[in-house]
Amino acid sequence: MNILLTGGVGYIGSHTAVVLAQAGHQIVLFDNLCNSLKETVSRLEKIIGSSIVFVEGDVRNTELLITVLQEYQIDSVIHFAGLKAVGESVANPVLYFSNNVQGTISLLQAMQATQVNSLVFSSSATVYGEPVYLPYDEEHPTNPINPYGDTKLQVEIMLRDLANSNPDWKIACLRYFNPVGAHESGLIGDDPSGTPGNLMPYLARVATGQLECLSVFGNDYETRDGTGERDYIHVMDLAEGHMAALSFLNAHAGFHVVNLGTGKSTSVLECVNEFEKASNKKIALRFAPRRDGDLPIYFAKADLAKHKLGWTADRSVSEMCSSAWKFQSSQSKQ
Ligand code: NAD
Ligand code: UFG
């Protein structure tokens, strides 16, 4: 298949690109590089062993998207492009609605104009909000607690309505839990600019010595050890989940929402412990107050992905940490 990956140079897009290219698909990466580096494209070429088509552009440029969809005879789109920093979305909601919602409208207009009707969308577990029960299954009420989550839910609603309007559409919304880790080559991974806001890249930089000490946000939650628990999923498992979703859509039209998680939760202290083993480094930490907006614990019910897509996330937290460490330690040598 010919597959367009919007935001394909970013963290999850680049790992998915590897999986798709290695399975023999023709991929086209479309990205405005607002949160990624062009060098990732050459690193991907090194992993895959062949050249990659990369188009620099913004998804809000509908005309450019139409040209790309036609020129490369695209069969399916995976829509990763978007902004994802929760705090920034609270400070600048218009930016988030413009990128994430307006960007998706532009993409859908381009797809309608070129009659491309197969789409996988990067949604997030953040659409669920405060748990009414756990694990979150796909029927759990949606009630996002920040503008970033609002944009993901708005897009899901738009996609549902679009699929209802025309039975030819094939749409999967994948609700990711906490993607971490890196490709086994150590060439690509999660490399946020500035101080990382997420646990795993922060831990990795403490292990290399770039950052002094991890602040553990809260140790008085009602969880196994008092620290927050999340459903961490290896980015390569997540990447494979996208390929499974595309195969599923080949045979099933309509609108589908599926969780991509492991079904298990891991605490912050358990992550620290696994990272110390993987890196053979002591991680300095201190207990800090709870972070605003954090939930104590959430994790996925992952059964639907297994039954519908024939996919499960199998890689362990230890593999997540060792691959993240391989990537981070090779980055800091450069
Ligand atoms: P990322 O920032 O690494 O990748 C997103 C890519 O999209 C970047 O390369 C960025 O340059 C590009 N981009 C952003 N706005 C664009 C625009 N208007 N036009 C063209 N390109 C644009 O993030 P990621 O972690 O790879 O996330 C990919 C998707 O998955 C996002 O939609 C994100 O909201 C979603 N998601 C991520 C997580 C996570 O924890 N990483 C969790 C749930 C959902
Ligand atoms: N944490 C720390 N110290 C840090 C960073 C994080 O203790 O320096 C803790 C958090 O309090 C939380 C856990 O580590 O308990 C995970 O935090 P992350 O920031 O890594 O991830 P979140 O669960 O807060 O959110 C992530 C993405 C969201 C996405 C969500 C989907 O950042 O965009 O997963 O489940 F919506």
pLDDT on residue 194? 87
Ligand nearest to the CA of 83: 1
**Lowest-pLDDT range of 67-71, 194-198, 269-273:** 194-198
Out of 291, 295, 297, give the residue to mutate to test ligand 2, the one with the largest number of ligand atoms within 8 Å of its CB.
291
Is residue 122 within 8 A of residue 99, CB to CB? The reply is: no
C-alpha–C-alpha distance, residues 168 and 102, integer Å? 23
Average pLDDT over residues 230-234: 98
Residue 191's pLDDT band (cuts 50, 70, 90): confident
Residue 55 has pLDDT above 70, yes or no: yes
Residue 334's pLDDT band (cuts 50, 70, 90): low
Which value, in Å, is the radius of gyration of the alpha carbons in the chain?
19
Residue 333's pLDDT band (cuts 50, 70, 90): low
**Is residue 92 left, alpha or beta, with left meaning phi > 0 and alpha meaning psi from -120 to 50?**
beta
C-alpha–C-alpha distance, residues 63 and 56, integer Å? 13
CA of 124 to the centre of ligand 2 (A): 13
Q: Half-sphere exposure of 156 toward its Cβ, with a 13 Å CA cutoff?
A: 24
Residue 190's pLDDT band (cuts 50, 70, 90): very high
Ligand 2 pocket, residue 230 CB under 6 Å: yes
pLDDT on residue 118? 98
Report CA-CA distances (Å) from 24 to 1, 47, 183, 325. 8, 14, 18, 29
- Residue whose Cα lies nearest atom 1 of ligand 1: it is 10
Catalytic site residue from 11, 96, 148, 176: 148
Average pLDDT over residues 151-161: 98
Q: Considering the chain, what percentage of its residues have pLDDT values greater than 90?
A: 97
pTM of the model: 0.98
- Residue whose Cα lies nearest atom 12 of ligand 2: it is 228
Instruction: Give the containing element (helix H, strand E) for 256.
Output: strand 254-260
Out of 127, 223, 230, give the residue to mutate to test ligand 2, the one with the largest number of ligand atoms within 8 Å of its CB.
230
Closest CA to 1 of 23, 20, 26, 29: 26
Ligand 2 pocket, residue 216 CB under 6 Å: yes
Residue 288 has pLDDT above 90, yes or no: yes
Q: Is 176 helix (H, G, I), strand (E, B) or coil?
A: strand
Ligand nearest to the CA of 200: 2
Residue 263 has pLDDT above 80, yes or no: yes
The dihedral through the CA atoms of 307, 310, 316, 320 has a sign that is: negative
Pairing of strands 53-56, 26-31: parallel
Average pLDDT over residues 115-126: 98
pLDDT on residue 316? 98
Ligand 2 pocket, residue 11 CB under 6 Å: no
The letter for the amino acid at 83 is L
pLDDT on residue 222? 96
C-alpha–C-alpha distance, residues 204 and 321, integer Å? 8
- For 121-154, how does the pLDDT look when each residue is reduced to its tens digit (9 = 90+)? 999 999 999 999 999 999 999 999 999 999 999 9
Is residue 152 within 8 A of residue 286, CB to CB? The reply is: no
What beta strand segments (E) does 7-86 contain? Answer: 26-31, 53-56, 76-79
- Residue whose Cα lies nearest atom 29 of ligand 1: it is 80
Is residue 254 within 8 A of residue 170, CB to CB? The reply is: yes
Which residue, chain included where needed, has tokens 């309509």?
254
DSSP assignment, residue 136?
Answer: B
Domains of the chain: 2-183+232-261+301-314 (3.40.50.720)
Which residue, chain included where needed, has tokens 């990711």?
176
Phi and psi dihedrals of 128, rounded to 5?
-75, -35
Residue 299 has pLDDT above 60, yes or no: yes
Ligand 2 pocket, residue 202 CB under 6 Å: yes
pLDDT: which is higher, 332 or 206: 206
Ligand 2 pocket, residue 260 CB under 6 Å: no
The answer to whether 148 is a known catalytic residue is yes
pLDDT on residue 332? 64
Ligand nearest to the CA of 104: 1
Q: Half-sphere exposure of 177 toward its Cβ, with a 13 Å CA cutoff?
A: 29
Residue 160 has pLDDT above 70, yes or no: yes
Ligand 2 pocket, residue 217 CB under 6 Å: yes
pLDDT on residue 313? 98
Is residue 71 within 8 A of residue 113, CB to CB? The reply is: no
C-alpha–C-alpha distance, residues 100 and 96, integer Å? 6
